[in-house]
Chain A
Amino acid sequence: MHDISRRKFLSLSAAAPLAPLVAGPLAAGVLGSTAFGTTSTSPAAALTMSEKARRRIQQQHLPNIPLINHEGKRVLFYDDLIKDKAVALNFFFANCDEICPLVTANLARVQKLLGNQVGRDIHMYSFTLKPEEDTVSAIRQYREKHGAGPGWTFFTAKPGDMEMIRKAIGFSYPDPAIDGDKTQHIGNIRYGNEPLMLWSACPGMAHAQWIAETLEWMVHPEQNRVQAP
C-alpha cells in the first residue's frame, strides 16, 4: 500500500483544475445579518431559494432557545451558538456512567486533534439531558473533569427547552419508551456548517481521528479526498 499523501495530492490537483467551469444558475448571496430567529419582517417571496432553505432549516431544527453555559452566561441557541458557524453538538449528563464518559473522552481526543481550530473554525457544544439536576456548577465540574479546552462549551437550560432542542436536532427515537430512557440516549454528534447548510451526524464513539477529519471536511468542504485502494 502506498498512500498518496492527501496534502501532496491536494496541492497537485489544485494546481490545474478543469476549465472552463459551468457556474450554477444560482448566484445567491449569504443570508444577511437579519436574525430571522428573533424577528423577521422580510416577506418570504423576497428571499432567494437559498435564503428560504436556510430559514426553513432554522425554523424546523435550530430554535432560538435560551441556554446557560458552564460559566453561567445566558446565550441563545441559534443566534449565539449556531448562526454563521461550523458546529459539533452532542448530549450528555453528568452522572451518566455508560455512554457519556466514553463519548466525552472521545471528544476530548477530537479536540486535541483539531487543536486551535476549535473555538475558531469549529465550535464544540455539549448539552445536558438532565438539566433538572445538572446545574451550572455540575456541568462546569464535568467539563473540567474531562479536560475540555477552550472552544468546547457545556450547556444547561430549562428542562422543557432542552427537550425541544434535542428533538429539533433529531436526537430522538420513534419509540417513546426508548426515547424516555436516558441511558439509551442518542450518542451521535450532530455536525453542521450553518451558513453553507451542510448537516450530517456521526457516532460519538467513532474513531477520534475520523471524527476530526469529518469535521475538517465540513469546515473546508472544497477539498478532495483520495487514498490508495
Chain B
Amino acid sequence: MYFNVFGEKVSRRRFKEMCDAAKNRRELIAAGLTSRRDLMRMGLLTAGGMLVAKSGLSARAQTLTPNPNPTGPSVKTNQPPSSGSNTSLGTNQNCVPGNQLASPKTRAFIQPLPIMPIARTVPSLTPAPTENPNLSAGEVRAAPFQAPQIDATRFPVVPGILYQFNQRQFTTSFSPDLPNQTIWGFDDGTGTRSPGPTYQAFYGKPQLTRNINSLPSITQSNNTGFGMASVSTHLHNGHTPSESDGNPCDFYTNGHFCDQYYPNVLAGFNSTNPPNGDINESLATLWYHDHRVDFTSQNTYKGLAGFYCLFNQLDTGDETTGFHLPSFPQFDIPLLFNDKVFDPNNGELVFDLFNLDGILGDKFLVNGVIQPFLQVSPRRYRFRLLDTGPSRFYEFFLTGNIGGTSSPTTNPFFLIGTDGNLIPVPIQINSVRIGPAERVDVVIDFTNFAGQTLYLENRLNQINGQGPVAQDSQIPAPIDNNNTECTLVLASNTPAIKPAGAGDLILQFQVTGPKVADHSLPPSQQKFYSLPSTTASPRVVRTFKFDRLNGQWSINGQFMDCNTFRFTVQQNSVEHWLLTNLTGDWTHPVHIHLEEHQILNRNRLAPTLPADRGRKDVTQLHPNERVELFFRFRDWLGKYPIHCHNVVHEDHAMMALWHVEPTGDTVKVP
C-alpha cells in the first residue's frame, strides 16, 4: 500500500514517481544543476539547511512515508523537515498549496471566540461632512452625495448617525503559539481591531462613515511584507450610491479620508416601489472590506474587513419581536472565516505575493484567532457566516462526537439566509457551501446538546486556488519528476467531501450551563420574505465570459482597466446577465455591486441547492457552467464593478467597470 501526502492511497507507479522526485531533488543538491553553495548563494537554501519551497523544489517529498492509519482524524502527514510537528487538532490541511511550507504548530480550541464589538457612533465629525468632496480638508471622493440630492430631508448631508473609522496598523495575536502579528484594522475610537467593529444599522436611519487612512506611510519602508497602504473601503452588498460604494479605482493614502454615505434604504425606494421600497428586498448581513485595485487580496488578508448588520421592523435583532430571530448580539453572532499561512521559522504571517491562481492557508481563523471555542447555552443561536477568502471555499457541517468511541456525527441545522438575505422559509440542511465573499445565515439549536461539544467542520476538499475538488472527480495524478508539491499529488478518486471528522474542525461549540430562556421561534415555524418576481422581460441580456488567457484572468477577453467603462446599464431597468465559464477547471465566485440578483438557471436548469435559491450578491460560477441572473438596477447612478471575488483573480484583472445612467446601451458582450 502506498500513500500520498494526504494519507490517501496512490498507485505504486505514482508512489515511485513521488520517490523519484525526492531523489531528483537530493541529486540536484548533491551534484546536479547547482551545488549546495550555489543554492545558498541564490537564496534557495536557508542557513538551517531547509530548502526554500519554491521553484519546483519540494521540501515535502523527503518526508513521505507510508501511513499506517490513513483514515483516522489524527493522521498527520507532509511535515516539512524543520518546521516541527503540525499536530493542531482537527486541521489536516498541512499541505499548503502554492509551494509554501506548512505553518508552525498551533493548539486548537484554547482561545475563546472573539466577538467584535458594535461600532461606536460619534456625535459629530470635524470638519463636518459636506455634500461635495471636501478636497481642501484631504477628502478623496469621486462625486457629491447622491442621496441628499434625491431628498435632503430624508437624507440630510449630515445624517443623525455618524462614525469615524481610522484604519491603522496595530499588533495582535492569532494564537498564543505564534508571535504577535503586526496587521491592519479599524479603529472606531475605542481601539484598533481586526475584524473591524460590527455596524448595527437600521433601515430608515441613514448613516455616514468617515474612513480615514491612518496606516503608516508607504514610503517609510516599514511594510511587513505585503499590503498597500492605499485604500478604498467597499460596503459589500450595500445598495449604495456609487460615490460612497468604495470603488476599487478611487483610493487614497495616509492622511486622507473618504466620507461614505450609507442611506440604509431598500432598493426600489426611488423607482419600482416608492417611497420605501419592498420589504421583501431587505438585506441583513453585509460586510465591509478594502477594495484597492490590484491589492485587495493583500489588504483584506492583512485585516481590513468587518461586518455590517442591517436590521428592520421584522428582522429586529430582538427575539421577542418581528421574526423572533435570536437576539443580537448575544445570540446572533457574526463569524468571519479566513485561512492564513505563517512562516515556519519565525511564525510571522506571510502572504504569497507571487501567486496568480489563488491562495490557501493551512491555519483557519474565526473572528481573528486560530480555531477558537465558543461557550453556548443550550438554546437557539443565529450565526452569520462570512468567507473572506482569499480563495478558499468551505462546506460547513455541524459535527459531534469527535474523539468519542463511536464515529463522528453529522447534525442538521437551518439555513435562513443567503448572502445576508433571509430566504422565504428556513431550510433544514446537513451542510452548506460558501465561497469567497459569500455569507450564509444559519440557526443552530443547541437545546438537545447540553454538556456536549460540537464543531463547525469544513469537509470540502480544496487543494489549490482553482476551487473545490470537483464532485468525486477522477483527477489524474500529473507527472512531473521535478515537482512533488501538494498541488500535484492529488490521487484519483478524490472525494469532494471528506468523511465526518476528517475535515478541518474550525470552531468548537461547548454547550454549557443550564437551559436559558429562548424567545426565538423554532425555524420550522418561521416564515420570512417572499422572493421578488423575476418574470419581467429584460431590456438587454448581457454575456460575461470568465476565462484565462495565457494566465491572464479575463472577462470577455478583456482585462481590468480603471479608465475603461465597458457598458452602460439604463437606470431602473431589468437585465439578465449570463455568466459563462468554459475553462473546465476553475470556480469563480462572481460579485456584482449595487444590486442583489436571483439565479434564474444553471446550464438552463432551475437552481437546486438551497443556497442558490435566495437573493444573492455573489454567485459561484463552476467549471463548464452558464448561469443566468436576474437584475434590476435601481435608484443610484454612476460607476460600479463586476468581478471575480477569488481576490487573487480579482487583483489580476478579472474585473470590469460599468455605469448606470438614465440612458443605457444594449451591448450584449461588453
Contact = CB atoms under 8 A, between A and B. Distances in A.
Given A49-B348, A170-B355, A196-B219, A224 B256 contact: yes
Contacts of B251: 224-225
Q: Chain B interface secondary structure, helix, strand, loop or mixed? A: loop
B169 interface: yes
Contact of A185 (B216, B242, B550): B550
A12 B352 CA distance: 37
B117 interface: no
Contacts of A65: 42
A57 to B, nearest CB: 6
B551 interface: yes
Interface in A199-229: 199-207, 209-210, 213-214, 217, 221-229
Nearest to A61: B354
Interface string B216-242: 111111111110111000000000001
A198 B355 CA distance: 14
Interface string B453-466: 00000000000111
A53 B453 CA distance: 39
B216 A26 contact: yes
Interface size class of A (residues with CB under 8 A): 35 or more
Interface in B444-498: 464-466, 478-480, 483, 487-488
B242 to A, nearest CB: 4
Contacts of B465: 174
Contact of B478 (A19, A177, A209): A177
B488 A174 contact: yes
Given A174-B464, A209-B563, A18 B255 contact: yes
A21 to B, nearest CB: 5
B224 A49 contact: yes
Given A170-B355, A206-B561, A24 B215 contact: yes
Nearest to B651: A200
Contacts of A30: 221
Contacts of A228: 142-143
Contacts of B218: 196, 198, 221-222
B559 A38 contact: no
B46 interface: yes
Nearest to B639: A229
B522 interface: no
A229 B224 contact: no
B346 A52 contact: yes
Interface string B350-371: 1011111100000000000000
A168 B554 CA distance: 23
A108 interface: no
A54 B530 CA distance: 54
Given A19-B255, A53-B223, A170-B356, A176 B295 contact: no
Contacts of B55: 63, 163-164, 167-168
A87 interface: no
Interface size class of B (residues with CB under 8 A): 35 or more
A226 B551 contact: no
Contacts of A172: 56
Contacts of A46: none
Contact of B348 (A16, A53, A62): A53
A169 to B, nearest CB: 5
Contacts of A203: 549, 552-554, 559, 652-653
B559 A50 contact: no
Interface stretch (B132-140, B397-405, B573-581): B132-140
A177 B76 CA distance: 30
A160 B560 CA distance: 34
Contacts of A104: none
A141 interface: no
A124 interface: no
Interface in B335-352: 343, 345-346, 348, 350, 352
Contact of A225 (B166, B217, B250): B250
Interface in A30-73: 30, 36-39, 44, 49-50, 52-54, 56-65
A49 to B, nearest CB: 6
A61 to B, nearest CB: 5
Contacts of A26: 169, 182, 216, 220, 222, 224
Interface string B630-643: 00000001110000
Interface string A134-172: 000000000000000000000000001001100111111
A115 B260 CA distance: 37
B168 interface: yes
Nearest to A103: B550
A214 B294 contact: yes
A174 B357 contact: yes
Contacts of A130: none
A59 B41 CA distance: 10
Given A50-B223, A188-B652, A226-B140, A24 B169 contact: yes
A98 B212 CA distance: 46
A184 interface: yes
A176 B483 contact: yes
Interface string A1-38: 00010000100110111110111111111100000111
A186 interface: yes
A227 to B, nearest CB: 6
B255 A202 contact: no
B562 interface: yes
Given A24-B169, A167-B56, A224-B251, A188 B551 contact: yes
What 6 pairs across the A-B complex have the smallest Cβ distances? Answer: A53-B225, A24-B216, A229-B638, A170-B354, A186-B551, A187-B550
Given A203-B554, A226-B252, 11 more contacts: A30-B221, A52-B225, A53-B225, A53-B226, A60-B53, A173-B357, A173-B551, A207-B563, A221-B229, A222-B219, A225-B250
Interface of A: 4, 9, 12-13, 15-19, 21-30, 36-39, 44, 49-50, 52-54, 56-65, 78, 99, 160, 163-164, 167-177, 184-188, 190, 195-207, 209-210, 213-214, 217, 221-229
25 contacts: A18-B256, A23-B217, A24-B168, A25-B169, A26-B182, A26-B222, A27-B222, A49-B348, A63-B43, A99-B550, A160-B33, A170-B355, A186-B551, A195-B221, A205-B550, A205-B559, A209-B561, A213-B563, A222-B217, A222-B218, A224-B253, A225-B562, A226-B140, A226-B250, A229-B142
